[in-house]
């Protein structure tokens, strides 16, 4: 029943079609949306906007700000129609990437932990419209996000107007998984009271001003998640090297037996490397990370995990099905926070996080390129790797030694582009 998700007659009066809601988007607007990786992002309104522009042939361009990458319904469909003129802070879509490298889209590549402050302090301009996915909205002005939190608290606070997409494919059992805590702007900011990865310090919902809600659109579209690449022999070797290295560090007294909280980057390599913990002797693992992928669910399933803190659940199609099927179990193990908290340097440093990220290229001095092919073509962006690499207790980067079927070395004398200097890289 939609009444269970949209509580209050005044809010139900704001129900609209995606087509009608798309007309709230005007040329030149700065649009902020929910979503962090292809999870918890709006789907119906972007598709309706793309259809509107295609049919009307109007000239419409926007600045699009999201938590990180989002699904094809947003980045892909809008990029195909040249609707996105400026993009922040991270993307993984082929059409969007091509438009960036061809010079059509201005791309601003920023550390993910910095973005909410940029929004809240007005450094990116006024957010004209926020479009956010939720599983529930209350008459008092509380929304419950779905499979990611990202920058949603910041954009709904700062936006002039809000469109809410209520997604009925996202189960109500997600209620309780979120921990929403917002920091104040300088100079009034206080210490973030997280001293363990399991600490809950906020609310289970995001407060919004219901007077700013212009439209509520109902959808049942699922997150457009993608399968991971198969695990290969090199992935297994990297995982084994990591496990042996951590065992050595414990043996010589530089790490505790339980390990400090782990962070793992986005993608197939990081997901594969984490699988190495499944058959290891490590138990009661804590994660203080940004993205929760299939391998972490597998570790929960075999009883290896104590708690997982992140900002997004980003799974393969099979992983997403398993997540929904066993949601009550995962709800007890997983905490989803705003990215300003999940990626916060203060908390990462305090907890002594062990950061595990992937590289495009590394050089013999220890510098890491995470973003550019041959130093000039953007891949995805720096994402959260810089948040964790510079502030972690131990910073580890992974890459296979060659790319393009062995034709290009990923280990070079001088990196063609440097995102993480030798001072931020341990292993």
Q: What are phi and psi of 361, to 5 degrees?
A: -160, 145
Task: Please identify which residue in the block is written with the tokens 């702007």.
Answer: 185
Q: Is residue 125 part of a domain?
A: yes
Cβ contacts of 383 within 8 Å, gap of 6 or more: 68, 89, 90, 112, 265, 266, 290, 370
Q: Check residue 268 and give its pLDDT.
A: 83
Q: Convert the pLDDT of each residue in 196-213 to its tens digit.
A: 999 999 999 999 999 999
Q: Is the pLDDT of residue 347 over 80?
A: yes
171 and 288 together in one domain: no
Q: Is the pLDDT of residue 272 over 90?
A: no
Q: Check residue 289 and give its pLDDT.
A: 98
Q: Is 340 one of the catalytic residues?
A: no
295 and 373 together in one domain: yes
Mean pLDDT over the full length of the chain: 97
Confidence of residue 228 (pLDDT cuts 50, 70, 90): confident
174 and 81 together in one domain: yes
Structural domain harbouring 29 = 2-219
Q: Is the pLDDT of residue 221 over 90?
A: yes
Q: Check residue 271 and give its pLDDT.
A: 85
How many structural domains comprise the chain? 2
271 and 208 together in one domain: no
Q: Is residue 226 part of a domain?
A: no
206 and 267 together in one domain: no
Q: Convert the pLDDT of each residue in 143-200 to its tens digit.
A: 999 999 999 999 999 999 999 999 999 999 999 999 999 999 999 999 999 999 999 9
Query: Which uninterrupted H or E stretch holds 164?
Result: strand 161-167
Q: Is residue 227 part of a domain?
A: no
Query: What value does the mean pLDDT take over residues 96-113?
Result: 98
237 and 213 together in one domain: no
The pair of structure tokens assigned to 402 is 């060659």
Q: Is residue 417 part of a domain?
A: yes
Angle subtended at Cα 426 by Cα 244 and Cα 373, rounded to the nearest 5 degrees? 105
Confidence of residue 266 (pLDDT cuts 50, 70, 90): confident
Q: Strand 372-373 and strand 377-378: pairing?
A: antiparallel
Task: Please identify which residue in the block is written with the tokens 């990611």.
Answer: 148
68 and 214 together in one domain: yes
Query: What value does the mean pLDDT take over residues 23-36?
Result: 99
Q: Convert the pLDDT of each residue in 187-196 to its tens digit.
A: 999 999 999 9
Query: What value does the mean pLDDT take over residues 79-85?
Result: 98
Query: What value does the mean pLDDT take over residues 357-369?
Result: 97
195 and 239 together in one domain: no
The pair of structure tokens assigned to 327 is 């949601």
Indicate which residue of 136, 290, 340, 361 is catalytic. 290
Q: Is residue 215 part of a domain?
A: yes
Q: Is residue 351 part of a domain?
A: yes
The residues pairing with 207 across neighbouring beta strands, listed in sequence order, are 142
244 and 150 together in one domain: no
Rounded distance between C-alpha atoms, residue 237 and residue 233, angstroms: 6
Q: Is the pLDDT of residue 1 over 80?
A: no
Last residue of one domain, picked from the residues 194, 219, 244: 219
Q: Is residue 274 part of a domain?
A: yes
Last residue of one domain, picked from the residues 157, 187, 219: 219
Q: Is the pLDDT of residue 270 over 90?
A: no
Task: Please identify which residue in the block is written with the tokens 């090199």.
Answer: 234
Q: Is residue 228 part of a domain?
A: no
Confidence of residue 267 (pLDDT cuts 50, 70, 90): confident
Query: CATH code at 63?
Result: 3.40.1080.10
418 and 286 together in one domain: yes
Nearest to 346 by CA among 195, 162, 223: 195
Confidence of residue 260 (pLDDT cuts 50, 70, 90): very high
Q: Convert the pLDDT of each residue in 117-136 to its tens digit.
A: 999 999 999 999 999 999 99
183 and 261 together in one domain: no
282 and 420 together in one domain: yes
């Amino acid at each position: 029943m939609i009444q269970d998700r949209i509580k209050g007659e005044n809010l139900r009066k704001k129900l609209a079609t995606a087509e009608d809601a798309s007309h709230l988007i005007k040329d030149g607007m700065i649009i902020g949306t929910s979503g962090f990786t292809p999870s918890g992002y709006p789907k119906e309104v972007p598709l309706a906007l793309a259809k509107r522009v295609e049919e009307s042939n109007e000239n419409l361009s926007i600045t699009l700000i999201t938590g990180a990458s989002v699904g094809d319904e947003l980045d892909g469909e809008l990029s195909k129609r040249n609707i996105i003129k400026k993009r922040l802070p991270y993307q993984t879509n082929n059409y969007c990437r091509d438009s960036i490298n061809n010079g059509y889209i201005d791309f601003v590549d920023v550390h993910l932990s910095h973005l909410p402050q940029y929004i809240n302090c007005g450094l990116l301009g006024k957010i004209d419209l926020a479009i956010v996915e939720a599983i529930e909205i209350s008459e008092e002005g509380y929304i419950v996000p779905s499979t990611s939190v990202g920058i949603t608290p910041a954009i709904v606070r700062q936006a002039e107007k809000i469109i809410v997409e209520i997604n009925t494919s996202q189960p109500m059992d997600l209620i309780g998984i979120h921990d929403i805590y917002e920091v104040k702007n300088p100079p009034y900011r206080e210490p973030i009271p997280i001293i363990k990865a399991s600490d809950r310090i906020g609310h289970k919902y995001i407060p919004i001003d219901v007077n700013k809600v212009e439209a509520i659109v109902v959808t049942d579209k699922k997150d457009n998640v993608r399968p991971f690449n198969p695990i290969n022999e090199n992935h297994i070797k990297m995982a084994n090297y990591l496990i042996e290295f951590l065992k050595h560090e414990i043996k010589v007294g530089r790490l505790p037996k339980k390990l400090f909280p782990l962070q793992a980057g986005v993608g197939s390599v990081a997901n594969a490397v984490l699988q190495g913990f499944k058959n290891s002797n490590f138990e009661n693992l804590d994660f203080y990370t940004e993205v929760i992928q299939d391998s972490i669910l597998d570790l929960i399933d075999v009883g290896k995990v104590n708690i997982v803190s992140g900002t997004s659940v980003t799974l393969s199609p099979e992983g997403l099905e398993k997540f929904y099927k066993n949601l009550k179990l995962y709800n007890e193990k997983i905490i989803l926070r705003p990215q300003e908290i999940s990626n916060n340097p203060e908390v990462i440093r305090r907890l002594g996080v062990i950061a595990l990220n992937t590289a495009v290229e590394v050089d013999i001095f220890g510098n890491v390129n995470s973003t550019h092919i041959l130093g000039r073509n953007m891949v995805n962006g720096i994402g959260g790797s810089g948040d964790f690499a510079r502030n972690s207790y131990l910073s580890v980067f992974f890459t296979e030694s060659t790319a393009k079927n062995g034709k290009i070395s990923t280990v070079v004398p001088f990196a063609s582009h440097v995102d993480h200097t030798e001072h931020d890289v341990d292993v």
